[in-house]
Amino acid sequence: MIQIIGERLELVRNAWFNPGFLSPRPLSLVGFTSYWGWNLGIAILLLPIAVYIVKSGQRLFFFSFLALFILANIFQFSFRIEHNHSLINYFLVLSNFYVARLLVLLWAHNTYWKLTTAMTVFLLIASGILNLMAVKNDFQWYVFDASSQPFIQWIKTQTDPDSIFLAHQELYDPVTMAGRKNYLGHSYYTSVMGYNTSVREKNIALFSQANDAVILGKMRQEKIDYIAVSTDPGQGLFSLGSKTVLENTLSVVYRDAHVIVYKL
């Protein structure tokens, strides 16, 4: 009956006090109320009534898990604020029982209240239909099958299991899918886990300008074994000049239409 819609993907690093959950910024009472009004629909009006008519023990139980909703709208409990939705989901699931009980009590009255209940159920469902917009606006993303990728098969069969690659940061990373380590994988996963990646980010900025043997030596100090250079437009870590240095200094151990791998 009650579902969450809308999303504001915003990464707030090292924030503890971060009120408003995903409501619009700058935070305001109007924006916060509007956000939850759209998300909860008519249930935002029914829930207070449903809680008011129950027994005192049931009301106390409601307030015990209401704390989850309040805390999720005040504090940020993980590296990304949208992960607070797990607390809100628990609150919504339990709240639905109270709204459902209210509907049952209304239905038990005369025909007028039965019609009112039917209309209320319709409005609850209609407000949930807005969630289908996420399906409507979604898009297809074709993900390659690891077993059909020559690069992944080469990594699995021709490199040591403890090998470390310096490669492009991809969401579906062929290096990690092959069971090897990427020096700095996709930023989403490293940020969610809360790793301090600033040192490696600075190193990669330096490595991307690999224009002399000193920088290549620093890569070896970081225990990097292979450098995977993407040949696809817009996906390369390395500048044109550094690619020339790699080509003239290191040996190519793998090459296909999308990637060239150098052995350090």
CA distance 73 to 85: 10
Q: pLDDT tens digits for the chain (264 residues)?
A: 444 444 444 444 446 889 999 999 999 999 999 999 888 888 999 999 999 999 999 999 999 999 999 999 999 988 788 889 999 999 999 999 999 999 999 999 999 999 999 999 998 888 777 777 777 787 777 777 777 889 999 999 999 999 999 988 887 889 999 999 999 888 777 777 767 788 888 888 888 776 777 888 888 999 999 999 888 766 666 655 567 778 888 899 999 988 899 998
Q: CA-CA distances (angstroms) from residue 18 to 15, 45, 84, 218?
A: 6, 26, 11, 39
Q: Which two tokens stand for residue 262?
A: 């150098």
Cα–Cα distance for residue pair 12/77, rounded to 1 Å: 11
State the pTM of this model.
0.61
Q: What pLDDT is stored for residue 258 in this prediction?
A: 86
Whole-angstrom Cα distance, residue 147 to residue 224? Answer: 25
Exposure b/e, 99-125, CB count within 10 A at least 16 = b: beebbeebeeeeeeeeeebeebbeebe
| CB-based contact 263:251 (threshold 8 Å) | yes
CA–CA dist 263, 160 (Å, integer): 12
The CB-based long-range contact list for 98-107 (8 Å cut-off, 24+ gap) reads: 98/47, 98/50, 98/51, 98/54, 98/58, 98/62, 99/1, 99/2, 99/43, 99/46, 99/47, 99/50, 99/124, 100/1, 101/50, 101/54, 102/46, 102/49, 102/50, 102/53, 105/53
| CA pair distance 76, 14, nearest whole angstrom | 9
- Residue 202 has a CB neighbour count (10 Å cut-off) of 10
> 54 burial class (0-12, 13-18, 19+ CB within 10 angstroms)?
middle
Q: What is the spatial order of strands in the sheet that 251-255 belongs to?
A: 181-182, 164-166, 226-230, 259-263, 251-255
The encoded tokens of residue 257 equal 């239409």
Q: What is the pLDDT of residue 2?
A: 41
Q: Which two tokens stand for residue 13?
A: 């690093």
Q: For residue 57, give the H/E element and its range.
A: helix 56-72
Q: How much is the pLDDT for 7?
A: 40
Query: Does residue 176 contact residue 207 with C-beta atoms inside 8 Å?
Result: no
Who contacts 54 (Cβ-Cβ below 8 Å, separation ≥6)? Answer: 62, 98, 101
pLDDT at 233: 65
pLDDT value, residue 128: 75
